[in-house]
Amino acid sequence: MAEMRMREALRDAMAEEMRRDEAVFVMGEDVGVFQGAFKVTEGLLDEFGERRVRDTPISENTIVGAGVGAAMGGLRPIVELMTVNFSLLALDQIVNHAAAIPYMFNGQAQVPMVIRMPGGGGHQLGPTHSHSFEALYLQVPGLLVACPSTPADAKALLKAAIRDDNPVIFIEHESLYGAKGEVPDGEGEPLHFGEAAVRREGSDVTIIGLLKMAQVAEEAAQKLAEEHGVQAEVIDPRTLRPLDLDTILASVRKTNRAVIVEEGWPHGGVGANLSTLITEQAFDDLDAPVQRVTGADVHMPYSKRLEQAAIPHSEHVVSAALATLEGSL
């Protein structure tokens, strides 16, 4: 095992897959000479040259559209959008083309591309650069959606995404790029989509968190154990399409309680979807209503204190978990 930051794990995944397959290439704004807005593509231009590490004009609709065409033509593009909010400018290409073309061509055309998008708040980037759009892309048939929370998962999931014949929305949280973690030595194996991780075993309540909120969920579980004697089980879905609902339901049937934590807005969010699935399929196992902890239903403030107030923290998760246990402690 080697310790590395998430940005380094992502870079290694791309480099290894580019060495493995000549059809894989990277394209996006500032991915070459500048080595990426978050330095994820550092060193790739030097190794693979301009033909396979392509700086593009500032036009997200064009970048993704060119990626769709390249994928249909037999290549495997990794498209980097500088931040997730810029994907709104490419929604036509993502939803009406990348996601729909395999269906419209009855499987005779494939779109094996990865669209990498950093998102999330906490960096005082204001309301237009702090979005959490997991729920937006979760809704679209034909897209796979990955949300890694550790360097090891980021590397293994990105390798799997690059090899997959479907278009993949690969969401990375900006606050996690510098996070360190153990990553298996060597090239390692891709991680199958649709396999959740049980980050912590517990018997009293299930806490489900994704991206940075997976770490917040673990912090909350530690506080629950130390301060309240509550043993929380923490589930990290890792991918939202496909979703490993079996692991989530098995945990809920063991603990009889569930808390879902996400950074996105509450209405129509990932938590709303998961809460419905749990209630539909494990209603008789629940001893309390499913609790949701979400970002505030506001545009992200620029003020640091207000921004932090709009983002879930471990104390919010602890309160939600204790609410499910009210009367039983």
129: annotated active-site residue: yes
> Which residues touch 10 (CB under 8 Å, ≥6 apart)?
40, 116, 154, 155, 158, 172
Verify that 252 and 138 share a domain, yes or no. Answer: no
| Rounded CA separation 207/251 (Å) | 9
- 32-41, 182-191, 285-294: which range is least confident on average? 182-191
195: annotated active-site residue: no
Verify that 268 and 206 share a domain, yes or no. Answer: yes
Question: Please, are residues 147 and 274 in contact by the beta-carbon 8 Å criterion?
Answer: no
Cα angle at 233 between 230 and 239, to 5 degrees?
150
Q: What CA dihedral angle connects 191, 122, 77 and 163, to 10 degrees?
A: 0
Query: Can you tell me the mean pLDDT for 23-30?
Result: 97
Per the residue annotation, which of 17, 29, 60, 80 is the catalytic one? 60
- Among left, alpha and beta (phi > 0; psi -120 to 50; other), residue 49 is left
Q: Give the three-class secondary structure for 116.
A: strand
Q: Tell me, what's the pLDDT at 1?
A: 81
Question: Please, are residues 112 and 164 in contact by the beta-carbon 8 Å criterion?
Answer: yes
Span between the terminal Cα atoms of the chain, in Å: 40
Number of folded domains that form the chain = 2
Verify that 302 and 158 share a domain, yes or no. Answer: no
Query: Can you tell me the mean pLDDT for 126-153?
Result: 96
| CB burial readout 247-262, b (16+ within 10 A) else e | bbbbbbeebbbbbbbb
pLDDT band at residue 100, thresholds of 50, 70 and 90?
Answer: very high
Question: Please, are residues 160 and 188 in contact by the beta-carbon 8 Å criterion?
Answer: no
Quickly list DSSP for 156-174.
Answer: HHHHHHHH-SS-EEEEEEG
Verify that 92 and 214 share a domain, yes or no. Answer: no
- β-pair partners for 168: 114, 144
Verify that 236 and 282 share a domain, yes or no. Answer: yes
Query: Looking at 136, 160, 183, which one is the last position of a domain?
Result: 183
Verify that 124 and 270 share a domain, yes or no. Answer: no
Q: What would the pLDDT profile of 58-83 be if each residue is shown by its tens digit? A: 999 999 999 999 999 999 999 999 99
Query: Rg for the chain (alpha carbons), in Å?
Result: 20
Residue 102: give its domain's CATH number: 3.40.50.970
Q: Tell me, what's the pLDDT at 185?
A: 82
Within a domain: 191? no
Q: Tell me, what's the pLDDT at 82?
A: 95
Within a domain: 189? no
Q: Give the three-class secondary structure for 19.
A: helix
Within a domain: 166? yes
Q: What would the pLDDT profile of 193-241 be if each residue is shown by its tens digit? A: 999 999 999 999 999 999 999 999 999 999 999 999 999 999 999 999 9
Verify that 241 and 273 share a domain, yes or no. Answer: yes
Verify that 155 and 246 share a domain, yes or no. Answer: no
CB atoms within 10 A of CB 171: 24
Q: What would the pLDDT profile of 236-262 be if each residue is shown by its tens digit? A: 999 999 999 999 999 999 999 999 999
- Among left, alpha and beta (phi > 0; psi -120 to 50; other), residue 124 is left
Within a domain: 329? no
Q: Is the pLDDT of residue 120 over 80?
A: yes
Residue 39 in tokens: 């330095």
Verify that 86 and 203 share a domain, yes or no. Answer: no
Query: Looking at 183, 207, 226, which one is the last position of a domain?
Result: 183
Query: Can you tell me the mean pLDDT for 92-112?
Result: 96
Verify that 215 and 149 share a domain, yes or no. Answer: no
Q: Tell me, what's the pLDDT at 66?
A: 97
Residue 89 in tokens: 């400018």
Residue 296 in tokens: 């505030």
Domain with 264, as residue range(s), is 197-324
> Which residues touch 273 (CB under 8 Å, ≥6 apart)?
135, 138
Per the residue annotation, which of 97, 129, 131, 173 is the catalytic one? 129
Within a domain: 192? no
Verify that 99 and 220 share a domain, yes or no. Answer: no
Within a domain: 86? yes
Q: Tell me, what's the pLDDT at 188?
A: 78
| Rounded CA separation 295/329 (Å) | 28
Question: Please, are residues 122 and 311 in contact by the beta-carbon 8 Å criterion?
Answer: yes
| Rounded CA separation 240/329 (Å) | 33
Query: Can you tell me the mean pLDDT for 45-60?
Result: 96
Query: Can you tell me the mean pLDDT for 124-144?
Result: 95
Please give the C-alpha separations between residue 246 and each of 9, 91, 140, 211, in angstroms, as whole numbers: 28, 31, 21, 20
Q: Tell me, what's the pLDDT at 327?
A: 64
Q: Is the pLDDT of residue 187 over 90?
A: no
Residue 317: give its domain's CATH number: 3.40.50.920
- β-pair partners for 233: 206
| CB burial readout 124-138, b (16+ within 10 A) else e | ebeeebbbbbbbbbb
Verify that 162 and 204 share a domain, yes or no. Answer: no
Within a domain: 24? yes
Q: Tell me, what's the pLDDT at 217?
A: 98
The 8-class DSSP code of residue 189 comes to: P
Query: Looking at 141, 160, 183, which one is the last position of a domain?
Result: 183
Within a domain: 188? no
Q: Is the pLDDT of residue 328 over 80?
A: no
Question: Please, are residues 84 and 117 in contact by the beta-carbon 8 Å criterion?
Answer: yes
pLDDT band at residue 329, thresholds of 50, 70 and 90?
Answer: low
pTM for the model: 0.95
Q: What would the pLDDT profile of 291-311 be if each residue is shown by its tens digit? A: 999 999 999 999 999 999 999
Mean pLDDT, all residues of the chain: 96
Q: How far is CA 56 from the centre of its chain?
A: 24
